[in-house]
Amino acid sequence: MNNNALEKPLVSIIIVNYNGIAYTRGAVLSIRRHSPSSEIIVVDNCSTDGSVEALKDELSPLTVLSMKKNKGFGYGCNRGAEAATGKYLFFLNNDALISENTPNILASFLETHPTVAACGPRLMNHDGSFQLSIGLDPSLFSEWTIRRWQRQSNAGELLSNINRKFADKPVDWITGAALMVRRDVFERIGGFDESFFMYFEDADLCRRIRNLGLEVLYIPQTSLTHLGGRSYGNTNKKIDYEYRRSQLRIYDKSQPLFARLVIRLYLLAKFILKLSNSSERQLSASVIALLFRDQGR
């Protein structure tokens, strides 16, 4: 709980940490500097780098929840939300840095727009360049579109187009790296689907919000820096596997049978070709096995 305020905070900031104390420390300090009235909750997903001790010793007062097992990003966010006392929940990656009071800016927007249930700021890379943070509902067509946007973003060509098309307008989803949600709506839909270990849980959450008839908006007037993927460590194969598992899960939850079959055929061909590569063989075999399992509706 925020010990700097006697009344409940407007915003609770929830950060999930896994072996990333250096980045989490920076995120917390940036919040303290620019959004001191926000409640800070750090959920540690069973780190082995001394994160919990460092958080409690160096950054107190803040709420630290120590998980006994790493059950994924959505699970950690849900535990943080249960401990939160704020009206608005701001899910923030541990490798994010705020440079203005973005949490209060987003909360003020939600205060005056009752049909909007979730929103997110513009994200910037460490060098100040634009980082894509919104997307279309996952589908065969949208995945191609988003990859094209990502290439344009990497080339520095996308910022003006995205702002022109999507600023202050409903979008399908906003990345969970910096996502604010009304607490009552979050509780109403049951929070993040914990069957997603990582990836696509934000798109799924936003889809379920929109199914209530509420909106998700991109708010580029405020921004923060997202370093991006800096605390995963040497777990690339695990990350690749979880990406594909979550990709299949979101298709099985939201797409028609035809699309579910096509994505499986595409991935089957893709990973069969990789079986001949000894360094890719184990991952490829694991992903191929996934293709023959329904991930559930």
For position 4, what pLDDT does the model report? 45
- What domains can be seen in the chain, in order of their start residue? 11-226 (3.90.550.10), 236-291 (no CATH)
The whole-angstrom separation of Cα 276 and Cα 273 is 7
Tens of pLDDT, residues 219-240? 999 999 999 865 454 457 788 9
Model confidence, pTM? 0.91
Tens of pLDDT, residues 5-59? 457 899 999 999 999 999 999 999 999 999 999 999 999 999 999 999 999 999 9
Angle formed by the axes of helices 281-291 and 236-254, to 10°?
Answer: 10
φ, ψ of residue 105 to 5 degrees: the values are: -65, -45
The whole-angstrom separation of Cα 91 and Cα 278 is 39
